Amino acid sequence: MKKVTGTSILKGIAIGRILFYQKREQQIKPVKVTDVRTEKKRYEEARKTAVLQLKELQKKAEKEVGPMDAGVFEAHAVMVEDEDYADSVLKIIETQQVNAEFAVAITGDDFFKMFSGMDDDFFKARAADVKDVSERLIDILSGKGNAGNLVNEPVIVVADELSPSETIQMDKGKLLGFVTRQGSANSHTAILAKTMDIPALIGVDIKKEWNGKTAIIDGYLGNLYIEPDKEIYNQMRAHLEEDQKAKALLRELRGKEDVTLDGKKIKLYANIGSVSDVASVLANDAAGIGLFRSEFLYLEAKDYPSEESQFQAYKAVAENMAGKEVIIRTLDIGADKQADYFQLEREENPAMGYRAIRICLEQPEIFKTQLRALLRASAFGNISIMYPMIISVEEVRKIKGIVESVKAELDAQEIPYGEFEQGIMIETPAAVMISDLLAEEVDFFSIGTNDLTQYILAIDRQNRKLDGIYDSHHPAVLRMIQMTVENGHKHGCQVGICGELAADPALTRTFLKMGIDELSVPPSLVLPIRKNIREMELGE
């Protein structure tokens, strides 16, 4: 048995086999081959496998996020079967007598350059597709993988680093936990682990030879056991069973009100990142969805999601929540949430860079597509729309202007939409300081303590070295929350918290006393926080 330690993201136990997830090599090297025929056959086999994988992914996308990615995967399959592409690969293998991986890499590069150089947006967008298809073929040829495709049985994924887009693409039903060397406790990958309710450790000195071995994550103590001995195995199994019993006890709180012993009520909502998370929201009986991070739909996709596919996703969430409030945040991409097809430039300070609402206001066609989808979906449930990273009243007015123009478009086309509220994230110190002015513009605020903490304390939430001093309990953070509540309430604006701090039981009393109207937490923490609230007396 071997024991290593790391920083735990979620208190829980995971027992299973390790899948070592290796990112693709940056540089594919040419290797001389003598048997050209066999090499060509390897390529033909890889092509068939890629088509099968893409068909599977298409089915999965249809099931999990509606027809969201389906079309894209179909397009990728067509590209894999494209004869010009295949001819180029086979020719390179033959004339240069090189390995298929290298021939694919060269062909992929050539096609990428050709598409991205075209003077037509449709073909430009195909450049990202061709890159993706080439990477898939290389993965298959080199036996590596895309954990999203490889996970066929429940596994603990071990990786050097996992990006939010890699994590969201994994099959949640088959992911027992993950362990990484890199990553910070406040990153979106960590937040996704909490939303998915899977134990995760970061900062672990991982080893490739663990692949295939049985392991246990002890998320209470931050330990990882490789090939655990009988004693540890039995101990952890018992712990896991206790956890399951405790969860069963908490389930008795379903259907109960979120109210303190002395009658103070609060709305207890849940955060989600995809349509499939709604099942967990319902199972844990949240009163609504306080934050749907819509950018994860974009991270799951291989190209800009269409209006129709977004509409289907938002409609599915609204309908499944059956009249309960669903707050959908518009695209908050950038910083650690990157999708290749946006082709965002590398920045010195991405957290303070071109991201979120800044992209939407600069590229209104992307924003309008999302708004049309949101408005159309509002006819099918209780949807509210929320805008991220706000720093000024002017931004909010511009947004409202765009929303009005989208409404006018829909009216002209006689496309129905429902009533919806509009709110903003309060996650910059600027927004806090002008929250009295902002409150006059919108229906609600939701405080994003993850970003707010990083900007107030000038601590990069992505930097693991600073996790120890990233202190969301800092008096400056708490004072800013208090100020936001007071300013919001003075101007008739509801105030919630959807950052991770909302789920911190040590602060539930403080938030209730401040007068916070709503807390939105990972689905699995709704019932523990409900228990906390119901056992509390504020004594006012």
* Closest distance of CB 173 from ligand PEP, Å: 24
* Closest distance of CB 472 from ligand PEP, Å: 9
Q: According to CB under 6 A, which one of 136, 194, 293, 530 is a site residue for ligand PEP?
A: 293
66 binds, among ligand PEP, Mg ion, none (CB under 5 to 8 A by kind): none
Q: Reduce the DSSP state of residue 225 to 3 states and report it.
A: strand
Asked if 498 is an active-site residue, the reply is yes
For every residue of 307-355, DSSP letters joined together read HHHHHHHHHHHHHHTTTSEEEEE----BTTB--GGG-PPP-SSGGGSS-
Instruction: Give the number of other Cβ atoms within 10 Å of residue 338's Cβ.
Output: 17
Residue 272 binds to ligand PEP (criterion: CB under 6 A): no
Q: According to CB under 6 A, which one of 99, 309, 310, 449 is a site residue for ligand PEP?
A: 449
Piece of 37-45, 203-211, 368-376, 447-455 that binds ligand PEP (CB under 6 A)? 447-455
Residue 498 binds to ligand PEP (criterion: CB under 6 A): yes
Complex with Mg ion: residue 58 or 454, whichever CB lies closer: 454
334 binds, among ligand PEP, Mg ion, none (CB under 5 to 8 A by kind): none
User: Is residue 317 classed exposed, middle or buried when 0-12, 13-18 and 19+ CB atoms within 10 A define those classes?
Assistant: buried
Asked if 489 is an active-site residue, the reply is no
For CA atoms 13, 17, 20, 21, the dihedral sign is negative
Phi, psi of 400 (to 5 degrees): -65, -35
- 3-state SS, 346-371, equals CCCCHHHCCCCHHHHHHCHHHHHHHH
147 binds, among ligand PEP, Mg ion, none (CB under 5 to 8 A by kind): none
Residues 6 or more apart whose Cβ sits within 8 Å of residue 230: none
Among all chains, which residue has been given the structure tokens 């068909």? 55
* Closest distance of CB 298 from ligand PEP, Å: 13
Identify the active-site residue in 188, 239, 473, 493: 188
Residue 195 binds to ligand PEP (criterion: CB under 6 A): no
Joined tokens for residue 534: 């119901």
For CA atoms 283, 289, 290, 293, the dihedral sign is positive
Identify the active-site residue in 76, 360, 493, 498: 498
Complex with ligand PEP: residue 16 or 499, whichever CB lies closer: 499
Q: Reduce the DSSP state of residue 387 to 3 states and report it.
A: strand
Residue 163 binds to ligand PEP (criterion: CB under 6 A): no
Piece of 228-236, 344-352, 448-456, 486-494 that binds ligand PEP (CB under 6 A)? 448-456
Complex with ligand PEP: residue 366 or 481, whichever CB lies closer: 481
CA 88 to CA 103: how far, in whole Å?
8
* Closest distance of CB 355 from Mg ion, Å: 9
Residues 411-470 that bind Mg ion (CB under 5 A): 427, 448, 451
Site string for ligand PEP, 56-95 (x = CB under 6 A): ----------------------------------------
Centroid of chain to Cα 421: 24
* Closest distance of CB 258 from ligand PEP, Å: 20
Joined tokens for residue 487: 């300013």
Q: Reduce the DSSP state of residue 270 to 3 states and report it.
A: strand
499 binds, among ligand PEP, Mg ion, none (CB under 5 to 8 A by kind): ligand PEP
Q: Which residues bind Mg ion (CB under 5 A)?
A: 427, 448, 451
Q: Give me the active site residues, please.
A: 188, 498
Q: Which residues bind ligand PEP (CB under 6 A)?
A: 191, 291, 293, 332, 427, 448-451, 498-499
